[in-house]
Structure formats: structure tokens, C-alpha cells
């Protein structure tokens, strides 16, 4: 039951034996010294400390492990300290992996000021976490939560990373490799935030009265989510978001209605489920509204919720009559990829794990829909200025999602990637992010489209929670 935390303790013990960690005290802030940052450019590829941590594999968890351990840890102080040390060690390892990934990017791209700033943020994060001593007291745990909250509140490494990588690397790397790199980086961010928020929520649950606790809620996870209710909530949020985008009233008749058939329960993260369904509904609703804007009647969005034949999965089918799921950016992307024909792109870079297994990029719509380049172009077009200020709300999931002491709070909220839902942008550009959330614990997202008529989107999520998180 607690195997992942036992592994964390073994790694933590070996990590403390590293010679560079014996005499360094825990920093009081979430940033390393200015001298460390200044030396970064000179020692970009010389990082013995990063390599020592990156050689440890990430210890992937499952939803069932988080639930079983969380049920005990929310009442047991010893187990809570184990959770704190697992978080401290695992975040250090995973950040080291991402540093090593960033070092595979051509140096000419990483020398860009914006990307260099992101790299320095990751480096300071790594330095802060690796220097922390073993968590044994409540005060040390509070300090860990304070540090992790600051790290989660830093948006620069989220949407900004996507826009910068797409802009800088397209001339030096193959498009499919850029997508692979961003998928690894962003999926790791999502998984790190799940682990961090789970521990923060468990810590909060130890100090609240038993009468205020919801038995079915374990940290960030609700073990008895009514899928139909969650879908209805997502539809409400989607209507509010689109009403703001179009400047309409939330009850405007031009917005399609919703028909829900079927229901079931699932153990999952409510904020993730509602975010995924909301973004998919926005895609269907926008397509339907655009196609039928001059019609007297707007066709409804139909959702069917069923258990799979093996009863192991939940399938949510979203059907619309929005004319088909076309990618409007295909021509523009082809132009971008064909620019600078005298530039030789790196088919790898070969040091990036998995780069040699990805399929060559094509201009097909099913490829473009899942490409991060559409998202990067949208972010650049909108010239988004990412606010570094964290908005912390200790009673609800905040706008930044840095701290989540109330795990039952409904979306909107979440981390910086979830902020896509409140941006005035074409919903289809956010599909790559939605797919990452869908696949995190073994889910799957796919679609069938009929040009001129509509689209069926299929979201499959595991019910038993035994799938390990998808993380490199």
C-alpha cells in the first residue's frame, strides 16, 4: 500500500549522502542565490548535481495508491511526514529530469532571454528542493508547503514555456520533436502539481475538525464523483466562459443546450474532470454556434455516459452538429515549417528520450489538432503577459491553483495550464493541453468527425484507479 513512500525514503536516504548536501541549510525562500543564477549561462552543460538526481527514476503513483495512503495520512502525523519527504524527494527528481530535457534543446534556442529565464527558474527550483533537510516536524512541513506553494504560483514556466519553445525552436528542431519536448515538460508540471496539492490538502485535513471533513474526499480526490453532475457543472462553466468571450448574456438562446444520457460514479480529481469536460464542451459549443449563427434553432450538445464493456472504464461521448472538427491553422503552420529551407533541423535531438520513436510530422488535421504549435501561435498572437503574483485563497481553489486546502471546490481554478479556459482564444488550440490531463492516469481522448455535419468526442477514463501516472 505504501510502496511508493518506502521507495521515496530510500531515495531520500541516498540523496542525503551526496557530498554536496551535507552542510547546506534549508533556504528561507524559494529562490537560490543571485550568484547561482548568474553562473548558469557559463555552466549550462556542467551540472554534476543535476545528473546525480536525474539518474533516479520517477516513482509514478496511481490514484488508488493516493487514496489508500491518503485515508490514513489525514489522521496519522507519522504518515504525513512520510508524504512530505516523498514530495520533497520526488519533486527534486522530476525537476532534475526536466533540466536535463532542456539541455537537449539546441543552445542557440535556449540562449533566448525568455527561455534562459525559464531555465533559471527550474534551476532555482531544483536548488531549493535539493537543499531541504528531511521533514520531521510540523514546522518543517509548513515550510515545505510554503516553498512548494511559491513554486506552483510561478506561472512563467507554464504557458510562457509553450509560447517560447514554439517560437524559438521551430527553426532548429523537427516539429514532432518540439511537440514531444513540450508534452514531456507540461505533463511533468501537471503531475508535480497533483502530488504537491495532494500533500497540501492532506496537511490541511489533519487540522480541520472531523465534522467538517467529507468522508468520500481524500486530499484532491473524490472517490464518489457523479459524472453526470460533474458534466452539468462543466457545462455551466463553459457557458459562462463563452458568454464572456462573445459579450453575451449567459442565458442567451444562441448558445446550445445540453442533453445528458446515463450516469455512473468514478474516483477521480474533480478539478481535472471538470476542466477536461469544460474545454471539450467549449469546442463543441463554439463550432455549433458558428455554424448555426443565422439559424432559428441551435442544435443541442448531446452527452452519453456509459461504463465500458469490461466495467473498468467510463466513456463520455460528446456529440455536436458543429460542422466537423477542422484545424483552421493548417496552412499557416505549413508556411512556418517551410520557412528557412537552408536551416538544417535536428531530427532528435537524439539525447531527448523518445525522440527517435515519434512519427514524422504531417499536415493532416488529426496531427495539427494535437500540436502545441497552434497553442503557441495563439499565445504569441494574444501577447499574453503572465502575472507572477500568486492569488492564494485558503477556502477555495484559487485562480492560480497554488494552494488547494479545499479539494472539493469546483473548477474554474487550477494551475497555469488550466488558465487557458479563461483566455479569449479559439478552444481548439487548447486541445493538446486537455489531452495531457486526460492521459495522466491512463485515460484516452479521441474524436470522430464528419465534415459539414458534426463531431463525436470520446473521453475514456479508468474507474479502478490502478493505472500509473503517465510520466517520463
State pLDDT tens for residues 155-206.
555 677 778 888 778 778 888 888 888 889 889 988 998 999 899 989 988 8
- The pLDDT tens digits of the residues spanning 198-213 come to 999 899 888 876 666 7
Alpha-helical (H) ranges within 3-137 are 3-16, 34-38, 48-54, 63-73, 77-102, 107-110, 113-130
What is the pLDDT, as a whole number, of residue 154? 63
Q: How far apart are CA 277 and CA 158, in angstroms?
A: 21
Inter-residue contact 424 to 243 (CB < 8 Å): no
What is the pLDDT, as a whole number, of residue 418? 67
> Higher-confidence residue: 108 or 72?
72
- For the record, the C-alpha cell of 218 comes out as 481524500
What is the pLDDT, as a whole number, of residue 129? 92
- The pLDDT tens digits of the residues spanning 255-301 come to 999 999 999 999 999 989 999 999 999 999 999 998 898 888 899 99
Inter-residue contact 390 to 150 (CB < 8 Å): yes
In the chain, what are the domains? Answer: 43-212 (1.20.140.20), 220-389+410-462 (3.30.565.10)
What is the band of 30 on the pLDDT scale with cuts at 50, 70, 90? very low
**What predicted TM-score, i.e. pTM, was given to this entire model?**
0.82
Q: At residue 468, does pLDDT exceed 50?
A: yes
Amino acid at each position: 500500500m505504501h510502496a511508493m513512500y518506502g521507495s521515496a525514503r530510500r531515495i531520500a536516504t541516498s540523496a542525503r549522502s551526496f557530498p554536496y548536501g551535507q552542510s547546506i541549510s534549508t533556504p528561507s525562500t524559494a529562490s537560490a542565490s543571485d550568484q547561482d543564477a548568474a553562473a548558469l549561462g557559463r555552466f549550462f552543460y556542467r551540472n554534476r548535481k543535476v545528473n546525480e538526481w536525474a539518474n533516479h527514476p520517477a516513482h509514478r503513483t496511481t490514484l488508488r495508491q493516493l487514496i489508500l495512503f491518503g485515508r490514513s495520512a489525514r489522521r496519522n502525523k507519522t504518515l504525513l511526514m512520510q508524504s512530505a519527504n516523498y514530495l520533497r524527494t520526488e519533486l527534486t527528481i522530476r525537476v532534475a529530469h526536466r533540466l536535463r530535457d532542456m539541455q537537449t534543446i539546441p543552445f542557440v534556442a535556449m540562449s533566448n532571454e525568455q527561455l534562459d529565464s525559464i531555465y533559471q527558474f527550474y534551476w532555482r527550483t531544483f536548488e531549493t528542493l535539493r537543499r531541504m533537510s528531511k521533514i520531521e516536524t510540523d514546522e518543517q512541513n509548513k515550510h515545505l508547503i510554503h516553498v512548494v506553494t511559491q513554486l506552483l504560483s510561478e506561472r512563467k514556466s507554464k504557458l510562457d514555456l509553450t509560447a517560447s519553445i514554439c517560437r524559438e525552436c521551430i527553426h532548429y528542431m523537427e516539429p514532432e520533436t518540439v511537440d514531444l519536448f513540450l508534452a514531456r515538460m507540461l505533463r511533468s508540471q501537471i503531475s508535480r502539481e497533483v502530488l504537491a496539492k495532494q500533500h497540501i490538502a492532506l496537511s490541511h485535513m489533519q487540522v480541520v475538525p472531523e465534522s467538517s471533513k467529507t468522508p468520500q474526499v481524500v486530499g484532491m480526490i473524490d472517490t464518489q464523483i457523479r459524472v453526470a453532475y460533474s458534466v452539468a457543472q462543466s457545462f455551466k462553466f463553459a457557458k459562462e466562459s463563452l458568454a464572456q468571450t462573445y459579450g453575451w448574456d449567459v442565458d442567451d438562446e444562441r448558445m446550445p443546450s445540453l442533453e445528458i444520457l446515463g450516469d455512473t460514479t468514478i474516483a477521480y480529481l474533480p478539478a481535472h474532470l471538470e476542466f477536461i469536460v469544460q474545454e471539450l464542451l467549449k469546442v463543441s459549443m463554439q463550432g455549433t454556434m458558428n455554424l448555426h449563427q443565422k439559424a432559428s434553432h441551435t442544435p443541442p450538445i448531446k452527452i452519453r455516459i456509459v461504463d465500458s464493456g469490461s466495467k473498468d472504464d467510463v466513456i463520455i461521448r460528446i456529440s455536436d452538429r458543429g460542422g466537423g472538427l477542422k484545424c483552421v491553422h493548417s496552412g499557416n503552420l505549413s508556411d512556418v515549417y517551410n520557412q528557412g529551407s537552408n536551416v538544417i533541423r535536428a531530427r532528435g535531438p537524439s539525447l531527448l528520450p523518445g525522440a527517435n520513436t515519434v512519427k514524422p510530422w504531417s499536415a493532416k488535421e488529426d496531427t495539427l489538432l494535437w500540436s502545441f504549435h497552434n497553442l503557441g501561435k495563439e499565445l504569441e498572437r494574444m501577447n499574453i503577459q503572465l502575472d507572477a503574483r500568486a492569488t492564494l485563497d485558503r477556502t477555495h481553489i484559487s485562480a492560480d491553483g497554488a494552494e488547494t486546502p479545499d479539494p472539493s471546490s469546483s473548477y474554474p481554478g487550477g494551475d497555469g495550464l488550466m488558465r487557458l479556459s479563461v483566455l479569449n482564444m479559439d478552444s481548439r488550440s487548447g486541445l493538446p493541453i486537455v489531452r495531457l490531463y486526460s492521459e495522466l492516469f491512463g485515460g484516452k481522448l479521441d474524436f470522430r468527425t464528419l465534415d459539414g455535419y458534426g463531431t463525436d468526442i470520446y473521453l475514456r477514463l479508468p474507474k479502478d484507479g490502478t493505472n500509473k501516472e503517465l510520466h517520463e
